[in-house]
A and B are shown apart, each in its own frame.
Chain A
Amino acid sequence: MSATPEAPSSEELAWRRLDRRMLLVHPLQTLFRALPALLAILFVSIGSDDSDRWELLLLPVVVVFGLLQWVTTRYRISNGQIELQRGLFNKQTTTARLDRVRTVDLTSQVHHRVLGLAKVEISTGSAAKDRLVLDSLDVERARRLRAELLHRVDPAIAAMPAPTGPAREVPTAIPDAAAVDEELLRLDPSWIRLAPFTMTGIASAAAIFGFLSQGVGRFSEEGDVFESGARWVRGLDWWIDVIGLLVVVSLLAIGAYLLSFWGFRLNRNQAGSLHTRRGLLTSREVSIDQSRLRGVSLGEPLGLRWARGGRLKAVSTGLEGERGGGSDWLAPPAPVAIVTALAVEVAGDREAVEGNLTQHGPAARRRRLSRAMWLPIPVLAALSAGVALLGWSGWVLVLVIPVAALAVWLGIDRYRGLGHRVTERHLVSRNGSLDRARVVLDRDGIVGWKVERSFFQRRVGVATLVATTGAGQQHYDLVDLTPARTYELIGEISPELLAQFS
């Protein structure tokens, strides 16, 4: 459809439909979704003597249903709004004001990519209900729509005859993106070596293990295969098992890295909007409007830290983070020098990204350590119960020592992770050990303050300062500061607030 240029007036103001090629996909998608039900019906009827294959009649119904989806879905941009209409009997119209559009994501699964299509998701807030989904448009048309939405091209102005005098940029002709965009980051295949140091491998291994152990219970014949496999693994030396496990987890991590980050690119256009593109099979394009960006989060989880890696995410309003399929990535796990340089580039504040942080003091350190002791105490209790009640050897109590040592190390590392800094434009906070992140938050993005003091915090005289914001996690915490320091920070960033209440 995009191949035939239409007059802007009719194209911009009239109702538009999804791409015609979706006619190939919608019926198939509907069919796939209905497949379990269809199969169930088929199985049931195989057992019966009834020779009528009446269930086959359902197939055309499903296909027609898919067609109707295409026929009944239409959208248009008019009067500063985008409208999306869906449904045959239950007509639904969703409307969003263009100036409230925060992000526009393009996602192409494999079947979309084969047909040159992309699903467009338009978000106007952080809640799922604030999303308009157009499944799907031609990729080029989807990109034009995105440009139109994010840069608020007014079709009424674009349709007007060009004025005399100096030539003006014609907004409908969105300049060739690749030509003017500044490329900030492109995936270097050597970064894949960092994949085994992320948690994704372990997470996928756990998911697969859970799936298999469920499956073993269901299908007893295949269960034999798994059991003999398990016996074989148990028969090997323990160190071979460990190496095997590491290899499997690493391969899974590498696979996951390739799937989500292959072809990763981060561009910045002239208007300052950030634009990422990534994915091996399913490709995702995310645009983050400059005016919605409230900072960056520099992630350095334990494993990556050991491998001198890091990752970068955007702190932005309207992005859904993990729930939204991780649309906030600005850099995949990559060498820390590259990630830091990128963070400086995006935040425009070297001091905030690289500067030393103020530590939170001895009380914070004691609290990290005492809280870490929650790890060995239940272990000790469980082992003691085992010795007392189940007649275990007293030697098992020795196991508490490494656990306690680990806990102490964790407490110290968590304290080392704590830190904050105020720069001219940003509030920097860092915390965590296993999942450490340094958040560079735009001071203008802070919409309020909280000073939290739990019962135990009040006893030792510390407080947690929380900067609330409409972006990212919605709140960023500076844990266990002295109260004087919290007030000082509020006074430094929001002097007019402290002045009124001091």
Chain B
Amino acid sequence: MAVAVGRVWHRWGVELREPANLVSPRAIPMWTVGALLGSLVLATAQVGWWLLDDSPFRQWHYVVGAVWFVLQAAYVVVMPRWRYRVHRWEATPSAIYTQTGWLSQERRIAPVSRVQTVDMARGPLAQLFGLASVTVTTASAAGPLEIEGLDLQDARALVEALTRAAIAQDGDAT
């Protein structure tokens, strides 16, 4: 691990590169199923409208239905793949670094010395695909670092490494 001291980095043109690791490829189907479940809610609303509407003119049903179907289809196809290309993470003994989002993107960095909790969570969808998400919180209410769609083995290893590194640090990390 390289440690630059002083003014070495105080110059133009230094790039913060992307984090090294992609999440598990199984995150794509997980996000797809999640998006499909979301559009199911819209479909239910559409069906309810069809059943409750008494007027004989149905063209508005077709227009609204077609619009949301196209948008949802694009979302379900595009979003998970785009996300997969963006979502990345990297953990070193002294820092953790994530990149998330798709249309709006975000990079978060926290030194391990400021880490307060490391959580691993597995929702129903994540369990279905053998995945887990790891959330790292700091003393700040803004900006916990969350890595979604990690392979279960990777997630366990990451939690263990971070916990071990965090224990080695002193202070109350505020």
Residues of A near any B CB (own CB < 8 A): 100, 126, 292, 317, 445, 447-455, 458, 466, 468-471, 473-475, 484, 486-488, 490-492, 494-502
Contact = CB atoms under 8 A, between A and B. Distances in A.
A447 B174 contact: yes
B14 A447 contact: no
Given A447-B173, A498-B9, A502-B9, 18 more contacts: A445-B174, A447-B110, A449-B109, A449-B110, A450-B109, A452-B104, A466-B143, A470-B140, A487-B14, A490-B16, A494-B109, A495-B3, A496-B4, A499-B2, A500-B1, A500-B97, A501-B109, A502-B16
Contacts, number: 134
Contacts of B58: none
- Enumerate the 5 nearest inter-chain pairs by beta-carbon distance, A residue then B residue, closest first: A470-B139, A491-B9, A475-B142, A448-B110, A499-B4
A450 B99 CA distance: 10
Nearest to A455: B103
B153 interface: no
B143 A448 contact: yes
Nearest to A464: B106
B9 A484 contact: no
Contact of B14 (A445, A448, A469, A502): A502
B106 A448 contact: no
A304 to B, nearest CB: 27
Nearest to B9: A491
Nearest to A126: B141
B94 interface: yes
25 contacts: A448-B111, A450-B106, A450-B107, A450-B142, A450-B143, A453-B104, A453-B105, A453-B106, A455-B103, A468-B142, A468-B143, A470-B138, A470-B174, A473-B142, A487-B15, A487-B16, A495-B3, A497-B95, A498-B16, A500-B1, A500-B92, A501-B16, A501-B90, A502-B15, A502-B16
Interface residues of B: mostly helix, strand, loop or mixed? loop
A492 B7 CA distance: 7
Chain B interface residue number, banded: 35 or more
Contact of B4 (A471, A488, A498): A498
Which of A451, A486, A488, A496 has the most chain B CB atoms closer than 10 A to its own CB? A496
B110 to A, nearest CB: 4
Contacts of B142: 450, 466, 468, 473-475
Contacts of A448: 108-111, 114, 138, 140, 143, 145
A344 B17 CA distance: 37
A292 B110 CA distance: 20
B109 A490 contact: yes
Nearest to A457: B104
Contact of A469 (B4, B97, B111, B140): B140
B8 interface: yes
Nearest to B145: A448
Interface in B8-38: 8-17, 19
Nearest to B4: A499
A455 B139 CA distance: 29
B6 interface: yes
Given A453-B104, A455-B104, A501 B140 contact: no
